[in-house]
Amino acid sequence: MLTTQYLSNLADVREGVSPGSISHYTVQRVIDVLVNTQGRDLGSLTIAIKQQIKKTCPSTRHNDPIPGAK
């Protein structure tokens, strides 16, 4: 029998200070999300991850204009 497991029971997500390193993908900043999927169906896991990201990450994007770009 499978039971529902909430992401908050599996992960402790918090903001913190770390060494200055920003990952980029096609010039956009990215955040890597690592999760353990063992024993979880992909559908409910995806929903839980998206909810946690929405709750934790900034809702606005920061765009740095490129000097001279039109």
**53: which DSSP letter?**
H
- pTM for the structure as a whole: 0.42
Residue with more model confidence, 15 or 60: 15
Per-residue pLDDT tens digits for 25-36:
677 666 777 777
Residue with more model confidence, 38 or 13: 38
Q: Could you tell me the residue ranges of all domains in the chain?
A: 7-14+22-56
Amino acid letter, 49: I
Indicate the Cα dihedral angle 60, 61, 66, 70, nearest 10°: -80
Per-residue pLDDT tens digits for 11-25:
776 777 666 666 666
Report the 10 Å Cβ neighbour count for 33: 13
**Rounded percentage of the chain residues whose pLDDT exceeds 70:** 56
